[in-house]
Amino acid sequence: MSSTDSTISVKPRGEGNAPPPYGRAVRGEFLLDPDFLIVNHGSFGAAPRSVLAAQDEWRRQLETSPTRFMNRVLTDALRHAAGRLAASMGASGDDLVFVDNATTGCNAVLRSLDLGPGDEILVTDHTYPAIRRTADYVAYRTGARVVVAEIPYPPRDAAAIVAAVAGALTPRTSLAILDHVTSPTALVMPLEALIAACRAVAATVLVDGAHAPGNIPLDLPALGTDWYVGNCHKWLMAPKGAGFLWASKPAQAAVHPATISLHYGEGFTPEFDWTGTRDPSACLAVTAALDFQDRLGGPALMQRNATLAQQAATLVAGRLGTESGTEPSLAAAMTTVRLPLAGPATQERALALAGRLLDDYRCDAPITAFAGALWLRLSAAAYNDIDDYAEVATRVAALLRSPA
């Protein structure tokens, strides 16, 4: 148990006042290779053994009686899982469908909308590249224009972010794509104020919440967005292949899956519940992932991870003699630290450094080029301890000392 844990008051459900174990005490519940120092939960998550066992059991049931499962069991099971997932985010299962991942969910929305010349799609310079490419593709196909709001990094405060986005909105903004937690810069965006600014110009809103479920508390209907896409395999620790799309009631009819199949025209949930024969076990195991989250304290786990991420940034920045890019009021379980490097701050250099850090120093942490600097992103997951970040600092310092 790390020194971090003693500073956090945690009341797990049904277990009196004993805090649930975190860090090394739960690492054995994951398959993670002990030869690697993994502080990159944000990229692909990691599913615990109990959740993978639940997924195996769903797959076993399917393969035991394929026709019966696909025709008699699957839809009800998916709707049950959707209901539980939605309830964990203050929503109704009728408004939530599973998709393979956040990219698929964003594609469903973007490629369904009736855009044309004169329409603008707002993104930011922090938008995840796959979603930016999808917006570019849709703009190319429809004649719409992609407008990029440039958000200063590190931002002074939430108002600086809102001002940057509001300044790029126009009466022609048809759709705004807003990240809830940004990937390169680990910012938790001031979503409510951003959505209000979008509404002021009558723009529809797609929130890319790939990093949000299990990372920050969510009340999807209260946000006032049209569509919200999330990943369950990251911070909810579900298996890969479990993402979701939530849509407000009025925004459901406009959206169809990126893959049209048997139930086209029958409504939001039937269309998405069947997009051709596929392995649904990851989505069905989301209920086991929600159980695991609950066992680890639910909101208390989120709070613990956010605190640990801040402590990690302070520690690593101190050891490298730089600063964190993360303002605590705009952060959750990920933080960034500037690398003390002169020379070009290019994405190629960032990728090369992260590759060497992984291969030569067995340390898994992404590095990004942003705003003229190179940034190390630190994730704090249930299985991480503060000691992990002391070791990260040692290995990154060694990397920076060694010639490329």
Ligand X SMILES: Cc1ncc(COP(=O)(O)O)c(C=O)c1O
H or E element, residue 166: helix 158-168
Stretch that binds ligand X, among 1-9, 58-66, 124-132, 268-276 (CB under 6 A): 124-132
Kindly state whether residue 179 participates in binding ligand X, applying the rule CB under 6 A: yes
Stretch that binds ligand X, among 101-109, 248-256, 280-288, 332-340 (CB under 6 A): 101-109
Query: Residue 116 or residue 129: which is nearer to ligand X going by CB?
Result: 129
Stretch that binds ligand X, among 90-98, 203-211, 281-289, 330-338 (CB under 6 A): 203-211
H helix intervals, 10-148: 24-27, 41-44, 49-64, 66-68, 74-87, 102-110, 129-142
Stretch that binds ligand X, among 107-115, 126-134, 219-227, 258-266 (CB under 6 A): 126-134
Query: Residue 100 or residue 385: which is nearer to ligand X going by CB?
Result: 100
Query: Residue 236 or residue 393: which is nearer to ligand X going by CB?
Result: 236
Kindly state whether residue 124 participates in binding ligand X, applying the rule CB under 6 A: no
Minimum Å gap between C-beta 190 and ligand X is 16
**Which residue type, as a one-letter code, is found at position 338?**
R
CB 123, CB 106: distance < 8 Å? no
Residue 267's SS3 state is coil
**Dihedral, CA atoms, 26, 27, 30, 33, nearest 10 degrees?**
-170
Residues 22, 30, 98, 128: which binds ligand X (CB under 6 A)? 128
Minimum Å gap between C-beta 188 and ligand X is 12
Query: Residue 4 or residue 275: which is nearer to ligand X going by CB?
Result: 275
Burial of 327 (0-12, 13-18, 19+ CB in 10 A): middle
Contact partners, residue 109, CB within 8 Å, separation at least 6 = 206, 227, 229, 245, 255
Segment 207 to 246, residues that bind ligand X, using CB under 6 A: 208, 210-211, 231
Residues 55, 134, 142, 183: which binds ligand X (CB under 6 A)? 183
At residue 75, φ and ψ (nearest 5 deg) are -60, -45
**Which residue type, as a one-letter code, is found at position 332?**
A
**Size of the residue set binding ligand X (CB under 6 A):** 13
At residue 270, φ and ψ (nearest 5 deg) are -60, -40
H helix intervals, 242-298: 249-252, 268-273, 281-284, 286-295
Segment 265 to 304, residues that bind ligand X, using CB under 6 A: none
Minimum Å gap between C-beta 127 and ligand X is 8
Query: Residue 10 or residue 194: which is nearer to ligand X going by CB?
Result: 194
CB 25, CB 1: distance < 8 Å? yes
Query: Residue 30 or residue 128: which is nearer to ligand X going by CB?
Result: 128
Query: Residue 10 or residue 286: which is nearer to ligand X going by CB?
Result: 286
Query: Residue 233 or residue 338: which is nearer to ligand X going by CB?
Result: 233
CB 120, CB 170: distance < 8 Å? yes
Count of other CB atoms within 10 angstroms of residue 309: 30
Minimum Å gap between C-beta 131 and ligand X is 5
Residues 130, 163, 390, 397: which binds ligand X (CB under 6 A)? 130
Binding mask 18-37 for ligand X (x = CB under 6 A): --------------------
Segment 57 to 86, residues that bind ligand X, using CB under 6 A: none
Query: Residue 186 or residue 373: which is nearer to ligand X going by CB?
Result: 186
Q: Cis omega before residue 213 (within 30°)?
A: no
Kindly state whether residue 131 participates in binding ligand X, applying the rule CB under 6 A: yes
Half-sphere exposure (CA, 13 Å, Cβ side) for 154? Answer: 18
**Dihedral, CA atoms, 110, 111, 115, 116, nearest 10 degrees?**
130
Name the residues that contact ligand X, by CB under 6 A. Answer: 43, 101-103, 128, 130-131, 179, 183, 208, 210-211, 231
